[in-house]
Amino acid sequence: MSLRPTLETRKATPTMEGAGVKLHRAFGFQDPSELDPFLLFDDFRNDHPQDYMAGFPWHPHRGIETITYVLSGSVDHSDSLGNNGTLGAGDVQWMTAGSGILHQEMPKGSASGQMHGFQLWGNLPSDQKMTAPRYQDVQSRDIPEIIDDDGTAVRVIVGEFWGRKGPVDGIAADPQYLDITIPAGVKKTFRIDTYRRAFAYIFQGEAAFADASNPTGVLLEKEIAGQEVNIRDMSGDRTLVRFGTGDEITVQAGPQGVRFLLISGAPINEPAAWHGPIVMNTRAELHQAFKELRNGTFIRPAH
């Protein structure tokens, strides 16, 4: 077993997307090799309807997959192929844009006005960039949840974990997407296949991740639930933790526990030509996509 080092810890930054939706971006529109096969990760959490109700009106995608996970509120969606529906709390949509699709996503808050969810973009390899578009809409009740003896709970959205398999299948990057809750003071180790790139995103509570220079997890300073931890080493809400190579991570939950996403996937290792919502391999392919948008031939006929 080898512990994955923590390469970077950084806060998500406020930004605005769509027709004026205020959100926080953990990464995106940077070096695409950094977290290959993942391109972008947004946290669209807000308690004020005026900051999200304008939504994400009609826009194109090609060459990628978009993964939307809703925690609170709902998202109405529709597309140029005639699909439409609503994602509710706990639901997931895995959309393979492939050769091209136009769609819109319109968030609605909960009864108290809160909207919370995430969107992740995954790249497609060159031989799948022009595949036929498809949706996988998964309801919350179909996502397996495992609760360990120490109270740790894991929702398995994609991939296999602790003997359970997530409901999404047939995706390019061989990803694992886990929603993990660890009670206060509990230290937990999770296996991740060495070939995967991996990151964690904390969105509730605090945690410290062990590093090769500090393999016990944290320095000793303050006792929480019978264990001594260094509060100064802990990362909190809206924090991205990017890991290096290894086959496990160790995390120590803080005084209120922690909830985070643990996401990993196999790197594609191909060049990326990227502009806005379209990601291809060459500039010529990118120019062709935008030419087709202008002349109305972007959407391929169904086979």
pTM: 0.92
Say what the pLDDT of residue 173 is.
Answer: 83
**pLDDT recorded at residue 217:** 46
Cα→Cα distances 67→133, 138, 180, 234, 256, Å: 14, 11, 17, 28, 28
Q: Which residues of the chain have pLDDT under 50?
A: 215-225, 229-232
User: 36-45 burial, b for 16+ CB within 10 Å, e for fewer?
Assistant: bbbbbbbbbb
* pLDDT value of residue 214: 53
Say which residue the tokens 């009864």 belong to: 111
What pLDDT, in 10s, does the model give residues 74-107?
A: 999 998 888 889 999 999 999 999 999 999 999 9
Domain 6-265 has CATH 2.30.110.10: no
Which residue, 300, 268, 28, is CA-closest to 126?
268
Which pLDDT does position 302 carry in this prediction? 59
Q: What is the pLDDT of residue 220?
A: 38
Q: In 3D, which of 171, 203, 198 has the Cα closest to residue 38?
A: 198
Cis before 5? omega within 30: no
φ and ψ of 50, to 5 deg: -65, -15
* Domain layout of the chain by residue ranges: 6-265
Please answer whether residues 109 and 82 qualify as being in contact, where contact means their C-beta atoms are separated by less than 8 angstroms.
no
CB atoms within 10 A of CB 251: 25
CA distance 227 to 44: 34
Task: Return the pLDDT at 171.
Answer: 79
